[in-house]
A and B are shown apart, each in its own frame.
Chain A
Amino acid sequence: MSIFEDMRNKQEELLRTERLPHVWCPGCGIGIVLNAFLRAVIRRKIDPEKLVVVSGIGCTGRTAGYVNVDSFHTTHGRAIPFATGIKFARPDLNVVVFSGDGDLFAIGGNHFVNAARRNHDLLIIAVNNFTYGMTGGQHGPTTPTGAYTTTTPYGNPDRPFNIPHLAISLGVPFVARWTTYHVNQLQNSIYKALGMKGFRLVEIISQCPTVYGRRNSMKSPLSMMEYFQKNSIIKPNASFEEMELTYNGKIVVGEFRVRTNIPTYEERFDDVIRRAQNEN
């Protein structure tokens, strides 16, 4: 059996196959991201008993129900606080937060900012599909300026979050962004992030043909994929202005920041406990 066939069979073991086909729409990018994530886990040879997948609410929040490892489907926006708790109670586990843009950056924005600031030992897989897919396509904090959604029928007046810029400004050790078109690069980035320590963010620009693409002249799944293919530029040393997402504009992708020497919150906390015990 070749390594590829072996990986595909192991991937099948990491899925709750009795629940497939999943709820995601035809051509949804979350399946591609989950596919890449499971492959990276297999390549890292992580014991499924030592892996926890935490997700919030929304389309991406359903991921927790399809992985055959210990998983946690939490309340809206609170995926990172729950994951922080798991990591504190069981530091030996690999904790992965697999959630969407609405969950992580809208209602959970404050949790994201503060967890990133403290550098908790978590891997964040943020699937950014520009909109709130499950509730019918309302505009969110990552919708590009000018995009049409159900709540912005004349174009979105807001500016979107520049997520890699936000993460880098908080000193996060690993920041990467890919689109679902870059399946191999995405898998390699998650593989790299799984082997590191600290708060690691992988943002994936994903397609939502059903509610976002339909209102923005990309009706079929393939037309959204073509948009990613034609407009993405791989530029790891991009400036902050270039990282900003614009409506129908270029998408700058790459591994923007890789640092290995930043102490995690768990390490600093252990240090504090040790000093307190020595004093008494």
Chain B
Amino acid sequence: MTQKKYERKAVVKILEDRCKGCWYCVNYCPTKVLVISDKMNAKGYHPPEFREDKEHVCIACHLCELYCPDFAIFVEELK
């Protein structure tokens, strides 16, 4: 099965010090551009990391912003 190619539309910026590691964004991202990272923030949580490759591109749906309970995500659209 070949996955449909999406156009790259945005970059996800994460304010790591606000993140508490619930990973709703990682789970609900429709194109799976966020992954759990190995690094730790000041409170000891693992914030998500923005990862883009050929199959996974951000389509600027802004769903991660809606699900984030900690106001830690900004989706910056590309011009």
Contacts and interface: CB of A to CB of B under 8 A. Distances in A.
A15 to B, nearest CB: 6
Contacts of A28: 69
B45 interface: yes
A15 B69 CA distance: 13
A11 B63 CA distance: 15
Interface in B40-79: 43, 45, 60, 62-63, 65-72, 74-77
A8 B75 contact: yes
**Which interface class (under 10, 10 to 19, 20 to 34, 35 or more) fits A?**
20 to 34
Contacts of B72: 21
Contact of A184 (B27, B66, B71, B76): B66
Interface in A244-272: none
B68 A26 contact: no
A171 interface: no
A26 B45 CA distance: 9
Nearest to A38: B71
Contacts of A183: 63, 66-67
A82 interface: no
Interface in A149-189: 183-184, 187
Given A21-B20, A26-B22, A222-B22, A12 B67 contact: no
Interface residues of B, number: 26
A56 interface: no
Contacts of A30: 69
Nearest to B76: A5
B17 interface: yes
A31 B75 contact: no
A20 interface: yes
Nearest to B18: A21
12 contacts: A2-B60, A2-B77, A4-B60, A20-B70, A24-B69, A26-B21, A27-B24, A184-B66, A221-B23, A221-B24, A222-B27, A225-B27
Interface of B: 17-24, 27, 43, 45, 60, 62-63, 65-72, 74-77
Can you list the 4 inter-chain pairs with the closest CB atoms, starting with the nearest? A31-B69, A27-B22, A26-B20, A183-B66
Given A27-B24, A35-B65, A221-B24, 10 more contacts: A5-B76, A8-B74, A12-B71, A21-B72, A22-B70, A35-B66, A35-B68, A35-B69, A184-B66, A222-B23
